[in-house]
């Protein structure tokens, strides 16, 4: 039985974790904003907006990756602007993989946070307002802490989803070892080569361990946050 | 409740009917670079004999792996001899059916809109021409087109400089698409791929001595039960099919 973690695996694991963590951190603020808007605001086109936010959840991931490629590729309408004016490139970079993961995990994060915000007692918010707090202060000191369990769950769901993201990543930033070859892509590459089964199996076990760990930590954190907030 | 059961039974029957393939059908597993040429050859064969031909295109290593795992292929056409040898050593081929079908040429391509010029020779300036961008290639570790490309670059002394700058595609057509879309300024594909895609232009061809000869062997699989497998292989190797192969840029093995 070969050692559990071969040296190459560490590089793949580190890249996968970096991509997933960056994707979650980057999408946190937008997700909270979108979740708040969907939970509290009524405006024309709200249903359409809700549908668009949930699109990555139901579209084939390859379609999302292809759309990213068309828009943010080197010669795409957004990509060429980003490259010429800001020097930002997503194509063939780990940043592109992080973007793909962020988009695919976004609906999961929004759903969890939105449910949590909807569960916040509005009378608490109103009470804070009558005591003189501004809207922003109410949001920061009342709504957000009470919605924390949902934010934690949403983040961990998005993290796990980002860790497992394959279709959008391989279509958008292709499969470059050390740069965009995350865990699922590495497993896929090994399954394409006769004799790569041992490596594929080893990496798959790592993926299972990571996913289980993410779920267990999510449960534990949610329960802690629920206990900390007043019943 | 009975309505639901009837609907479910109907769906199950439908799915079962979909799966049925007749013994006269031929399933071909072929290297990705054969796409247009083999599709046309298969159409001719289908029209003249009435046997249905289904072709699955992928990198030769992926196909070899699938056949080894029991995929229902009748014919296997690989882009290099190594993967065919691999299949032969594992007794996956019908004995005595292996033939050398075609040969090809390896080229360096650029997007059609690009005006880049490079002369391929020892130590040629590929790394400098790439700059910060990537060279699109099929996976140089396992896909035939990638392996030929790597051999060529190694023998020309250029590999160590471009090694880090490679955008690996699953198969040669993936590399072709990257260049065609302008995502990569250069790519290494077969001449037949460059001919097939109007979005790329050939910069130069690799000298035949810089890499192992590009040979496409073909064989009937040991597990094949199709009556039309051997006739199809004979047709593809026959003089009648030759003109079409050559029209797509392949060199027909004698």
- The 3-class secondary structure across chain B, one letter per residue, is CHHHHHHHHHHHHHHHHHHCCCCCCEEEEEEHHHHHHHHHHHHHHHHHHCCCEEEEEECHHHHHHHHHCCCCCCEEECCCHHHHHHHHHCCCECCCCCEEEEECCEEEEEECCCCCCCCCCCCCCHHHHHCCCCEEEECCCCCHHHHHHHHHHHHCCCHHHHHHHEEEECCHHHHHHHHHCCCCCEEEEEHHHHHHCCCEEEEEECCHHHCCCCEEEEEEECCCCCCCHHHHHHHHCCHHHHHHHHHCCCEECC
Q: How far apart are CA B189 and CA B156, in angstroms?
A: 17
Interface contact flag, B168 A176, Cβ < 8 Å:
yes
Q: Looking at CA atoms only, how far is residue A205 from chain B in angstroms? A: 21
Nearest to B170 among A91, A92, A192 (CB): A192
Count of Cβ atoms closer than 10 Å to residue A195 Cβ = 11
- DSSP code, position A81: H
Instruction: Clarify whether residues B34 and B92 are in a common domain.
Output: yes
pLDDT digits (tens, 9 = 90+) for B193-248: 999 999 999 999 999 999 999 999 999 999 999 999 999 999 999 999 999 999 99
Q: Tell me, what DSSP letter sits at residue A91? A: T
Q: What is the pLDDT of residue A230?
A: 56
Q: What is the mean pLDDT of residues B93-107?
A: 95
Radius of gyration of chain B (CA): 21
**Inter-chain touch B61–A174, beta carbons under 8 Å:** no
Residue B5 lies in a domain: no
**Span B28-32, average pLDDT:** 96
- Contact residues for B215 (Cβ-Cβ < 8 A; gap 6+): B80, B81, B100, B102, B103, B253
Q: Compare all CA atoms of chain A with the CA of B165 and give the residue at the minimum distance.
A: A176
Domain count, chain B: 2
Rounded distance, CA A97 to CA A19, Å? 7
Token digits for A116? 């949590």
Task: Compute the mean pLDDT over every residue in chain A, rounded to the nearest whole number.
Answer: 89
From chain A, the residues in CB contact with B134 under 8 A are: 92, 176
Say what angle helices A61-72 and A94-118 make with each other, to 10 degrees: 120
Positions in chain A short of pLDDT 50: 1-2, 231
Cβ-based contacts of A73 with chain B (< 8 Å): 181-183
CATH number at residue B162: 3.40.190.10
* Closest alpha carbon to B138 in B105, B110, B172: B172
Q: Name the residue among B134, B139, B181 with its Cβ closest to that of A92.
A: B134
What is the bridge-based pairing of β-strands B186-190 and B135-138? Answer: parallel
- In total, the C-beta contacts within 8 angstroms joining chain A to chain B are 46
- When CB atoms are compared, the residue of B86, B168, B182 closest to A175 is B168
Give yes or no: residues B114 and B238 share one domain. Answer: no
Helix axes B144-155, B81-89, angle to 10 degrees: 130
Q: What are the backbone angles phi and psi of residue A208, rounded to the nearest 5°?
A: -65, -45
Select the more confidently predicted residue: A46 or B16.
A46
Which residues in chain A are contacts of B145 at CB distance < 8 A?
none
Mean pLDDT of B176-199: 94
- Chain A interface with B: residues with Cβ < 8 Å: 69, 73-75, 91-92, 174-177, 189, 191-194
d(CA A69, CA A97): 11
pLDDT at position A1, please? 40
Q: Are residues B65 and B83 in the same domain?
A: yes
Residue B203 and residue B219 in one domain: no
Q: pLDDT, tens digit, for every residue of A144-166?
A: 998 988 899 899 999 999 999 99
Q: Compute φ and ψ for B151, nearest 5 degrees.
A: -55, -45
Rounded percentage of chain B residues whose pLDDT exceeds 70 = 96
Give residue B112's Cα distance to chain centre: 22
Q: Is the pLDDT of residue B17 over 70?
A: no
**Quick one: average pLDDT of B131-146?**
93
The residue in chain A having the minimum alpha-carbon distance to the alpha carbon of residue B133 is A92
Contact A194 B68 (CB under 8 A): yes
- Per CB-CB distance under 8 Å, the chain B contacts of A175 are 139, 168-170
Judge if B126 and B187 occupy the same domain: yes
Of the candidates B142, B167, B178, which has its C-beta nearest A193's C-beta? B142
For residue B182, pLDDT over 50 is answered with yes
**Domain-embedded: residue B236:** yes
Q: Does B99 touch chain A (CB under 8 A)?
A: no
Are B240 and B162 in the same domain? no
Chain B closest-CA separation from residue A147 CA (Å): 42
* Separation between Cα atoms, residue A207 and residue B156, nearest integer Å: 40
Residue B239 and residue B196 share a domain: no
Please tell me which of the candidates B65, B181, B182 has its beta carbon nearest to residue A193: B65
Per DSSP, the residues of A48-71 read HHHHHHHHHHHS-HHHHHHHHHHH
Residues of chain A contacting B182 with CB distance shorter than 8 Å: 73-75
- Tell me: do B119 and B91 sit in the same domain: no
Asked if the structure places residue B17 within a domain, the reply is no
Four-CA torsion B115, B120, B122, B128, nearest 10 degrees: 20
- Residue spans of the domains in chain A: they are 7-228
**Residues of A in Cβ contact (< 8 Å) with B178:** 174
Minimum-distance CB partner of B182 among A75, A176, A193? A75
Superfamily of A7-228 according to CATH: MetI-like (1.10.3720.10)
Q: What are the chain A neighbours of B65 within 8 Å (beta carbons)?
A: 191-194
Instruction: Report how far residue A164's alpha carbon sits from residue A16's, in angstroms, rounded to the nearest whole number.
Output: 9
Residue of A nearest to B144 (CA): A193
Cross-chain CB nearest to A192 (options B62, B181, B182):
B62
Q: Are residues B138 and B185 in the same domain?
A: yes
By CA distance, what is A197's nearest residue in B?
B65
Give the chain B residue nearest A75 (alpha carbons): B182
- On whether both B91 and B166 belong to a single domain, the answer is no
Query: Which domain range does residue B27 map to?
Result: 23-102+215-252
Q: What residues of chain B lie within 8 A of the CB of A69, using their CB? A: 181, 183
pLDDT, tens digit, 9 for 90 and up, residues B144-179 = 999 999 999 999 999 999 998 999 988 999 999 999
- The upper half-sphere exposure of residue B239, i.e. CA atoms within 13 Å in the direction of its Cβ, equals 0
Q: State residue A17's pLDDT score.
A: 94
């Amino acid at each position: 039985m070969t050692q559990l973690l071969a040296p190459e695996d560490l590089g793949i694991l580190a890249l996968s974790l970096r991509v997933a963590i960056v994707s979650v951190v980057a999408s946190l603020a937008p997700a909270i904003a979108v979740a708040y808007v969907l939970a509290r605001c009524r405006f024309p086109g709200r249903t359409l907006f809700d549908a668009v936010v949930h699109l990555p959840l139901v579209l084939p991931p390859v379609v999302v990756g292809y759309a990213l490629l068309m828009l943010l590729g080197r010669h795409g309408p957004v990509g060429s602007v980003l490259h010429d004016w800001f020097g930002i490139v997503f194509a063939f970079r780990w940043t592109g993989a992080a973007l793909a993961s962020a988009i695919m995990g976004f609906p999961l994060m929004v759903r969890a946070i939105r449910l949590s915000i909807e569960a916040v007692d509005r009378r608490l918010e109103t009470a804070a307002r009558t005591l003189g707090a501004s809207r922003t202060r109410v949001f920061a000191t009342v709504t957000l802490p009470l919605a924390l369990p949902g934010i934690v769950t949403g983040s961990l769901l998005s993290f796990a989803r980002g860790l497992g993201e394959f279709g959008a990543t391989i279509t958008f930033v292709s499969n470059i070892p050390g740069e965009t070859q995350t865990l699922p892509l590495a497993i896929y590459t090994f399954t394409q080569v006769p004799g790569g089964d041992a490596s594929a199996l080893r990496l798959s076990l790592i993926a299972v361990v990571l996913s289980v760990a993410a779920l267990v930590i999510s449960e534990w954190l949610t329960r802690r946050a629920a206990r900390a907030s007043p019943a | 409740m009975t309505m639901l059961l009837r609907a479910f039974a109907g769906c199950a029957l439908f799915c079962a009917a979909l799966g049925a393939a007749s013994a006269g059908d031929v399933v071909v597993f072929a290297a990705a670079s054969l796409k247009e040429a083999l599709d046309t050859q298969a159409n001719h064969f289908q029209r003249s004999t009435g046997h249905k031909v289904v072709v699955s295109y992928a990198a030769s290593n992926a196909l070899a792996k699938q056949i080894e795992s029991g995929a229902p292929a009748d014919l296997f056409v690989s882009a290099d001899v190594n993967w065919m040898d691999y299949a032969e050593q594992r007794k996956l081929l019908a004995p005595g059916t292996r033939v050398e079908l075609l040969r090809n040429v390896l080229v360096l391509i650029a997007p059609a809109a690009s005006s880049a010029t490079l002369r391929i020779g020892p130590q040629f300036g590929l790394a400098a021409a790439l700059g910060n961008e990537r060279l699109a290639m099929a996976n140089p570790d396992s896909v035939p087109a990638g392996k030929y490309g790597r051999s060529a670059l190694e023998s020309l002394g250029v590999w160590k400089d471009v090694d880090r700058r490679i955008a690996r595609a699953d198969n040669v057509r993936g590399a072709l698409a990257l260049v065609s879309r302008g995502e990569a300024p250069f790519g290494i594909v077969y001449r037949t791929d460059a001919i097939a895609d109007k979005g790329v232009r050939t910069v130069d061809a690799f000298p035949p001595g810089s890499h192992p000869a590009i040979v496409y062997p073909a064989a009937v699989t040991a597990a094949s039960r199709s009556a039309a497998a051997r006739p199809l292989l004979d047709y593809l190797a026959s003089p009648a099919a030759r003109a079409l192969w050559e029209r797509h840029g392949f060199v027909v093995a004698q």
